[in-house]
Structure 1
């Protein structure tokens, strides 16, 4: 447990931070940062310490909510304080203990785990309860420690310090949500990996169980974002309607600023939610393309088999007829019968190939799909006398007609 006292210089009108109370000066507000181990191991002693430091008595049900590791996002307004529980997605940068030796076990659903962070907010006090290893909060605390080490008159120069507990709470929430935005690149790479696995054609895709788990993890992120947006909306309503945590002459300006920050925070979460939705859609589109490709390959194989069957069916008929066991069959004893039958079978095969080619059933053909769909009714039938359209033959036929008329 560590405390930070935020002061406002009366004459110079700038803020500064101290880790210990300053005599004869009233702090604007106090930030008490606690780790979850302090609360879990010594819950009663922790409550006594909070009461001695802040004169704040916590509701026993709220203490149970804080101790509940799986508590969802919630905002509850009380007369003395407000409780905000915000679940954070555990990112690869975090060093939160999740092994067997951990004090509490974070449940991992579809490969993702979340951890709660609690905020107890009053007009002059902010109490935060976080996990050890929460890098976003620890980085913010490290920056605060750096500011404390500076001279008082230089603490507020690089970045304006928080002026109220709710202002500081929103800044801490913003650091956690910004960590989500860094997940967009690795999540996109995972989707690209699954797209390549689904659309490759040299081997069969078999890891459907892992792909389903990946898809459900995106659903979990969407549900988490939805909970966070609802929680922030309740906080915003409380700020707009009857928020007493803002004080001073510029209370209305501070209230508008807090509303803007809540809206900005909600917009960041909505961006993550929309990005996750797009990634899920990309995976679903890849799955649809995979099955379409499989179906197309199956149709192509069936088309080839059908063409082969159609070509060999007349040949099988001819060989079957002349393979019957009758004493007298026309041409059976003809010395040229075998070669005549081969020529007939060859001509039949050529005619069938030409027929299939003109119907665009063999090869890719020269027509596009649109042309094939828009072709006229006369093109649906094969023209066995297509060779009559050859120009020299046309000229010859015209000459024969003239001679006939002249006679």
Structure 2
């Protein structure tokens, strides 16, 4: 558990919960699922002693539930946001353990050839570009004087934010700081949420590249496409991403309403400069979520369009083959008729005893074939194949 006191452009870190509420500024109390699950009641009592706010039992269970969807709820004392963020691994298990940040970055940046599939324990899994959609929940408790976060042990966003705060704390007061400190628990939470949503935006290019390779493979006439189960897995993952974004957007919309309701003084809604900044930040988060949602919808539509074009191309090639076979059959039908007539067991037949009968028959058969080919070409039953690039 890490505790940061942020006030008056200063940051102080402590390993123990404070015994009193700060007069200025606010606390950021950062905990992991393991720490909370080890002693939920004791952890809740410590939070109550430090902040004066008692977290309800259902919300405590939600905070340590690894499968909880994105969600918002509020009480008279605090608000709770559950947000599913991208995890540090790509193993296809939304509740699994850790992996290194370097491994995930390499998986996202490495070109994936058509048909390349990530495997887990020798079992078939989704492609590497789509395996990065594994998510984990992070819970925010928004108190009057503190922000409490509960998350998995490894979190890039949380670690980066802690590092910036520590860098700010280690610098002298006269040093120049490029980043402004958060002014409230809500401001800090929205900064964290914005950074988490940006991780989803970073996945757009790897996903687009993977689906572009599939589209080219679907329309490649030289090699038949066989990775249908992989393509189905991709469509399922994109559907999950759409549902995830919709849940996140709904949670952010309810959070926005919560911020607006906090400024209701009975005579109407007055939005201060600080609240206005918070609304701008939450609108930015919602807009980023919408961009991810729209991109996932476009990718899913692209997959469906590519599959339809693939089957249209297959049907077109099948029609070309059938037309060629039909023409060949039509060419040999009169020739078969002629050979069948001259194969009859009659004693007297025209040209049978003639020395030039064989050559006359062969010339007539050639003329029939040439005439039929000219007729088929004129009716466009036969067309020159397009030159291959």
Give the TM-score of the pair, scaled to structure 1. 0.79
Give a deviation string over 1:32-80, Cα, whole Å, max 9, x none. Answer: 1111111011212211211121111111111111121111111111001
Which residue in the other structure is 2:173 paired with?
A: 152
Q: Which runs of 5+ in 2 are unaligned?
A: 100-123
Aligned to 2:74: 77
SS in 1 for 2:23: coil
Q: Distance in 2 between matches of 1:121 and 1:271?
A: 26
* 1:143 Cα deviation from its structure 2 partner: 0.7
Aligned partner of 1:88 in structure 2 is 85
Q: Displacement of 1:88 after TM fit? A: 1.0
Count, aligned residues: 348
How much has 1:123 moved relative to structure 2? 2.0
Partner of residue 195, structure 2: 175
Q: Among residues 348, 353, 376, which one is paired with 1:356 in the alignment?
A: 376
What is the distance in 2 between the residues matched to 1:81 and 1:297?
64
- State the 1:198 CA deviation: 2.0
Q: Is the 8 A contact 1:29 1:164 kept in 2?
A: yes
Q: Distance in 2 between matches of 1:77 and 1:277?
A: 31
SS of corresponding position for 1:215: helix
Matched, 1:65 2:59: no
C-alpha distance in structure 2 between counterparts of 1:49 and 1:325, whole Å: 111
* Structure 1 unaligned residues grouped into runs of 5+: 9-14, 102-107, 367-407
Aligned to 1:373: none
CA distance in 1 between partners of 2:160 and 2:224 (Å): 46
Task: Return 164-173 or 284-293, whichever deviates more.
Answer: 284-293
Tell me which residue corresponds to 2:52: 55
The answer for the alignment partner of 1:4 in structure 2 is 4
SS of the counterpart of 2:140?
strand
Mapped pair 1:126 → 2:120: no
Aligned partners of 2:147 and 2:185 also within 8 Å: yes
Q: Return the alpha-carbon distance in structure 1 between the equivalents of residues 158 and 252 of structure 2.
A: 19
TM value normalised by structure 2: 0.82
Deviation larger for 17-26 or 252-261: 17-26
Post-superposition shift, 1:324? 1.7
1:82-104 deviations in Å (ceiling 9; x for gaps): 1111111225599x993599xxx
Report if aligned partners of 1:109, 1:217 keep a CA contact under 8 Å in 2.
Answer: no
How big is the shift at 1:361?
A: 2.0
Q: Please tell me whether the aligned partners of residues 117 and 131 of structure 1 are also in contact (alpha carbons under 8 angstroms).
A: yes
Larger Rg: 1
| 1:280-295 aligned within 5 A | 280-295=300-315
Residue 13 of structure 2: aligned partner: 19
Cα RMSD, aligned residues only: 2.9
Of structures 1 and 2, the one with the larger relative CO (CA 8 A, separation 6+) is: 2
- By how many angstroms is 1:179 displaced? 1.2
Give the whole-Å Cα distance in 2 for the aligned partners of 1:24 and 1:254: 22
Does the 8 Å contact 2:20/2:51 carry over to 1? no
